[in-house]
Structures are given as structure tokens and as C-alpha cells.
Chain A
Amino acid sequence: MIRALVLLAALAFSAPAWAIADPAEALPDPAQEARAVQIGSQLRCLVCQNESIEDSGADLARDLRKIVRQHVAAGETEAEITRWMVARYGDFVRLRPPFNWLTALLWASPIIALGVGIALATGLRRKAEPPAPLSTDEQQRLARLMEN
């Protein structure tokens, strides 16, 4: 039942954001605001499909934006704010997944893919060795042909 409700809520918000953020939301200091946008764009709007809280028009995203700005104004670092968010919402809130034993495969995927590709290419190359040099018989035949 709860699951169905969550799904329903997700569907209600599944349309991307048209609601434009309230200009009053922004921090007065442009440098701080830029930092808040940078942090917010790394956090997922939990009720949307793959949108950051900076892009989303959902109410929850607006609340989270406010929280981020409060923390930025209080002078907290990005790591501190992310920790605060993860403590409440889990790793799901991070658009950039953390590096741990579970995501090791994910983060290593570029290196694995590249490694497999290079190994395959060199393996195929070794198979396609150039043909063996001509035997003495063949060389003599070739010489005879060339003379004629």
C-alpha cells in the first residue's frame, strides 16, 4: 500500500519541472548562491525521475533547496551538507553515487571496458600473425618465375 502511494506520488511529479523557482529562494550573496546551485545539482529530487533538486519543480525539491541554502549560508562545506542529506535520505539522494564495495564495479566500468577492449584487440592481432616466410622451395620457384 505504502509502495503504491509512493508510486502514485512519483507519477504525480513525474512531469518535469515547469514551476519556476521563486526568485526569493536565492541567497543574496551570488558566490554563496553559485555554491548552493553546485551542491544542489548533485542531489536528487527524491520524488522525481532522475532530476536534481535544482531542476525540479516538486515541493520536496523546493524544501531541499531551502535546506541546502540554509546550510550554505551557515558556512558548511559540500561534504557536510551531502553527509546531512545522506543521513536522512540514504545514498539514493546522491546523483553521483559514492564509492564503496557495491559501486566499485560501477566506478571501475570505464577501466574494465577499456581493458577488455585492448585485450581483445591485441588477442585478435596475435591470432592474425603474418604468414610464415617462404620456404626455400618456394623461394626458388619465385626466383624462376621472376627470371622468365
Chain B
Amino acid sequence: MIAELGHFALALGIAFAFAQAIIPLWGAWRGDIRLMQSAPGLALGQAMAMVSSFACLVWVSVSDDFSVSNVAENSHTLKPLLYKITGAWGSHEGSILFWCLILSLCGGAVALFGRNLPAGLRARVIGVLALSSCGFELFAILESDPFLRIWPPPENGQDMNPLLQDPGLAFHPPMLYAGYVGFAIPFAFAVAALIEGRMDAAWGRWVRPWTLGAWCCLTGGIALGSWWSYYVLGWGGFWFWDPVENASLLPWLTGTALLHCAIVVEKREALKIWTVLLAIGTFAFSLSGTFLVRSGILNSVHSFANDPARGVFILALLGLVIGGSLLLFLIRAPLLGASGIFAPVSREGALVLNNILLCAIAAVVATGTTFPLFADLLFQSKISVGPPFYNITVLPLAAPVFIAMAVAPLMAWKRAALVPALMKLWWVALVAFLVGLVSAFGMSALPAMFMAFAAWMICGAFADIIERIRLFRVPFGNALSRLINLPRSHFGTTLGHAGMGVTVAGIAGMSMAVQEVVLVHPGETVKLAGYEWRLEEMHNAVGSNYNARVATITVSRNGQLVTTLSPERRAFTTQTMTTTEAKIHTNLLRDLYAVLGEERDGAAVLRLHDNTMAPLIWLGALVMGMGGFCSLADRRLRIAAPSRAARSLPGAERA
């Protein structure tokens, strides 16, 4: 009964989506205000239908209704409640429904928080969002129905892949999807601007908070995913240049470029055509990221199901959305008008450079990800493109971005002088040089160089603030009041750039990580990285749906106990799979990391890591995300909304 309700709600959502796509767009075309005014109501209707549908899926999952095929394939009576809930978006069908849910929520958010938009623009944005909703909800109900019944229902389910039964992975997909799908809003704004043939500074101001919100979620989603692979996959790696990871990195790169471009549109009405193209491109990468991976075209550790019928449907859908919007772009982009003028050396110029480099990195990653596929299809030649390729090609493109990040905020709009901007950064350069020099004693040349870049970025980010409040040049109290009155978006920039620096420092610092694989008996001690790791004992433990072998390891330094780690090996009964549960002790500057391996004659194989600076990788992402939210809280984003100022702010955050 509940499953049928969910199915019905999904169908209702599709009906709403079609109405929401046709009526407002038609109304905006005819200039009929009544038809345009129907957009918010329809968008909210679709969002409510999709929320009900997804709630039904969670309900059948939690109530162990194994007559629903999706639940039977991905759940089990013994699965912990948390994973029964998160399993609703962990499976293939569920994740597609979840994707549609977020897309409908985006429409609802624009309906609720976009009241200060001109009626025509709002109708078109909501209509375009609904157009894509139609396609993907049709895909959900026709090709990947999560509510499909099976007869006879099995006695129990097949359980979920134990790797996915992890709190980190439980919350990684919602964050990531909110990021992916959130870019649908800038996309819809871009398509609406193309239809209207008009784009001005106000457009930039409306688009920026949505882009920023999506960007924050995507940053968080990628960081969570990377953190998950760091502690679940059990060998201390955090980024593998795997096709799925690349698929999430691509919209992040172009989305970052879009974020910066939207600023130029807002402040200077320049780079309009380029911004529209970036908005389309970012959503195109988001779509192909989710769906090419799901279709099984790109093989990867993360692929769910491979099904040719789904693949064809998805490819057709992608072709329609991306091809259609690009066609519209080709026809209508010249209408958007000439750009504002600026000299090559200016804030705009620096942002153009940032765009070229970020997009070049995205192009390289996209080429590397799809190249094996084309080489196989066109030349029957099997080749691999792995981490060494990306390290060689991406790092030289990333280095100039890192350098420019500190300089650009200090440059003036329109026309700037490079030398004075660099002069203001003399102390930053000195700090970076010293950090690089000191690092060179502990690590090899390349990571030491990136440590210097990290210091340059972090200090450079704060140099911007110091310049703005004229610290040490005006009396201290004066500087303090300047600091308090500084718009929050400046702190957003600073935190965003500094966070990137912290992440780079973490990645560079990981080159100092040491690890050792040892075979030890209980009571024996191993020395690694100045710590004594002593295997105390081993025992059995029973979890809700697994049996575990647990080792107790005490880690001490100079006789002083630092921590006790108890890594596990878990044998999952239903899925007949063994996973290792790494245990990590962190002091935010280094991780002590222990994994338990097989046992032989009373001795256990242990893998011990001392990962210097590893936590900084994710701390940096956290700081970046905080920067984004700080910027969202800027009151200048509200001033653009004259009458309903106070209420338009939450719209910037994700619903």
C-alpha cells in the first residue's frame, strides 16, 4: 500500500512537473501575468509530491517490506536503522529518486525565496527547472522504478554492500547531490537569460547565492567522499583519480569558475556570455557525473548497476538537456550584449586567468577520464589513465591558480598595477619562502614547493583583510572598527582561499606519511615514527549484522600513553564479505592510523600509518565551506531585494 502511494506520488510529481514546465513558460512567452503567477504554486506542488514519494520509499525501507524489489535487494532485517533510512538513497533506484527530489526542491526554493525576482524571469527559471525535472522523473518511473513489487516476496533481503554501511557514506550522497543538483538553478537562470535575451548586474546578484550554496554542498560532498575512502578503504589514500571522483571534481572546477564569473557580472557587467556558458557547462558536468557513472559506461570502484536500457535512456536525456541548451546558447548568446571593458591587468583580468586555468584543468581531467573509453571504442586499444598522468598534467596548471589566488583580491577593478599589488605581499612571499625552505628538510622538492604555495595562499588570504582594514597604518581602534564593518563576503573570500591553502598543505604534508606492515604477536611492540605501537590482545565481538575480530593496540611515545586504537575486521554474514575497520587517532595535525589484517598462528598482520598533516585536507574543505556560508550571510545579497529583504536570505541556503 505504502509503495503504491509512493509510486502514485511520483506520478503526481511528473504531472506537476509537466504543468510547471509548460504553463509558466507559455505565460512568459505570451506575457500573460496570470499564467506566470502559477509557477510558484506548481513548483511547490511538485516538491510536495516528490517529498511524499521519497518519504514512502524511506517508509518501506524502514518497515522491511521485502515485496518491494528495491528493498529486497538492498536491505535486511538485521541492518541497523540508520542504514535502513540512508539505504533509501544508497541504492541505484533510490539515488535517482533522491536526485529528482532535490531538483524539485530547487524549484520549490526558487518559488519560495525568489519573490523579489521579476515575474517573467521567475516563471522562466521555474519552468526550465521543471523541464529537466520532467525528463529525470520520467526516467525514474519508467526505467528505474524504486517501488517495483516482486512476487513472491523473499523471506529476507540481500543486505547492502557493507562498505556503504558507514556514517560517512550515509551523509556523503545527500551533500554531493545537493551540490550537483543545486547547479541546476544557475543553469535555469542562464537558460532563462538566453530566452529573454537579457542579462544584467541584477542577474549576477540573483544567481550568485544559489551558485554559492550549491558550491558549498559540492565541496562538502567531495570532502566527505574523500574522507570516507580515507578511513574505510583502509590504506590511507584519500584521492584516487577514479572516474567517479573525477566526475564530482569536474562540476566543482567549473562551478568554482562560475562563482568567480558571477561576481564579475554583478560588479562590472562583463564576461556575460562566458558566465552563461559556464552555468550550462557546470550543470552538464553534474548531469554526466551522476548519470554516466550510474549507466556503467565508465567503470569504477563506485559503479552501482550496469544496465544497457538505462544507459541509452540516460544518454538520450543528457543529449537533449545539454545539446538543447547549447543550441539555445549558440542562437541567443550574441543578444546578451557587449561586455564591460577592462585592461588585461585588472581584477577582471585575474578572474579571466582563473577561469582559463580552472577550465583547462577540467578539460584535462575530462579528457583523461573518457580517453580509455574512446581509445577502446575507436581504436580497440586498451590503455589506462591513472594517478601518475593526472599528477603530471594537473599540478602545473594548478600552481599558477595558487599563485594568482593571493594577488587577485588585491587588484583593482578595470585597471590595476601588478607591482604595487605584489609589493603589498612582500611579507607573504617571505613567509612562503621560509615555509618552503623548512619543508625542504623534511620532504622532497615538489611537496616542499606546494607547502610554500599553501603558506602563500593562507597568508595571502589574510593579507587582503589586513590591507582593507589598513592595519598598522591607522590607529588600532580605527582598524578594528573597519574590521567589524567589513562586508561578510570579504571574510568569505578570505576563508575560501585560506581553506584551499590548508587543503593543499595537507596534501603536500601527506608525502611525509610513513607506514609499515608488520606481523606481530600479542604483547609485541613495533616502533614507527617515534611511537611505540603495542598489540595488547585480540578478541571477538558481535555486531548487529556482522561478526568482528578486534585488536587492541596501545600507542605510546617515550613511555607516555598517547591513545588506544582498536581496529576491526568485520565479516558480514549476508553479503559474505569481510571489511576492515581502520581506527584513527587524530590531533588535527597528524593521524595515527591502524588497520587489522589477517591472522596467522596467533600473530596478526597490522598496517600502521603515521599520516602527518592528513587532517588538514578535510579541515581545509571545512574552512572553504565556512567561507561560502559566510559569504551567503553578506547583507549586500539582501539589499538587492528591496521589499522582502529580510526573508530572501534563507533562499541562499539549500532547502
Contacts and interface: CB of A to CB of B under 8 A. Distances in A.
B517 A20 contact: yes
A50 B578 CA distance: 21
Interface stretch (B114-122, B315-323, B380-388, B463-471): B380-388
Nearest to A48: B301
Interface stretch (A68-76, A101-109, A133-141): A101-109
A128 B414 CA distance: 13
Interface residues of A, number: 47
B360 A96 contact: no
Given A110-B393, A128-B339, A97 B363 contact: no
Given A15-B163, A50-B243, A128-B338, A20 B356 contact: no
A17 B233 CA distance: 7
A124 B275 CA distance: 13
A50 B363 CA distance: 20
B377 to A, nearest CB: 13
A106 B368 contact: yes
Given A97-B385, A106-B385, A121-B352, A114 B360 contact: yes
B383 A103 contact: yes
Interface in B333-351: 338-341, 344
A86 B163 CA distance: 33
B578 A18 contact: yes
B240 A50 contact: yes
A44 B363 contact: no
Given A22-B605, A96-B392, A128-B338, A44 B301 contact: no
A10 B569 CA distance: 23
Contacts of B339: 124, 128
B375 interface: yes
B519 interface: yes
A116 B606 CA distance: 50
B588 interface: no
Contact of A51 (B240, B355, B381): B240
A93 interface: yes
A31 interface: no
B242 interface: yes
A120 B125 CA distance: 29
A39 B303 CA distance: 28
Given A49-B299, A49-B300, A44 B384 contact: yes
Contacts of A55: 235, 237
Contact of B388 (A24, A93, A96): A96
B512 interface: no
Given A97-B384, A109-B367, A110-B393, A50 B605 contact: no
Given A17-B233, A90-B382, A95 B389 contact: yes
A10 B303 CA distance: 12
Nearest to A42: B388
Contact of A20 (B241, B243, B607): B607
Nearest to A101: B379
Contacts of A42: 386, 388
Interface in A88-102: 90-97, 102
Contacts of A50: 240-243, 299-301, 384, 386
Contacts of A10: 299
Most buried by B among A50, A55, A107, A124: A50
B518 interface: yes
Contacts of A64: none
Contact of B605 (A23, A91, A114, A117): A23
A14 B393 contact: no
B274 interface: yes
A125 interface: yes
A109 B368 contact: yes
Given A49-B300, A106-B367, A128-B338, A114 B519 contact: no
Most buried by A among B163, B355, B517, B595: B517
Contact of B341 (A15, A17, A118, A128): A128
Contacts of B422: none
Nearest to B270: A128
Interface of B: 161, 163, 233-235, 237, 240-243, 273-274, 299-301, 303, 338-341, 344, 352, 355-357, 359-360, 363-364, 367-368, 371, 375, 379, 381-389, 392-394, 396-397, 517-519, 569, 577-580, 595, 597-598, 605-607
29 contacts: A10-B299, A15-B161, A15-B301, A16-B301, A17-B233, A19-B597, A21-B607, A23-B519, A26-B517, A41-B388, A44-B384, A49-B300, A49-B301, A50-B240, A50-B242, A52-B386, A91-B381, A92-B383, A94-B386, A97-B383, A103-B375, A103-B383, A106-B371, A107-B393, A109-B364, A110-B360, A114-B356, A117-B357, A121-B352
Q: Which 6 A-B residue pairings sit nearest by Cβ, starting from the closest?
A: A95-B386, A20-B597, A117-B356, A96-B388, A113-B363, A113-B360
Given A95-B388, A109-B393, 16 more contacts: A14-B301, A16-B233, A19-B597, A23-B517, A42-B386, A42-B388, A91-B384, A94-B384, A97-B383, A97-B389, A103-B375, A106-B385, A107-B393, A124-B274, A127-B338, A128-B339
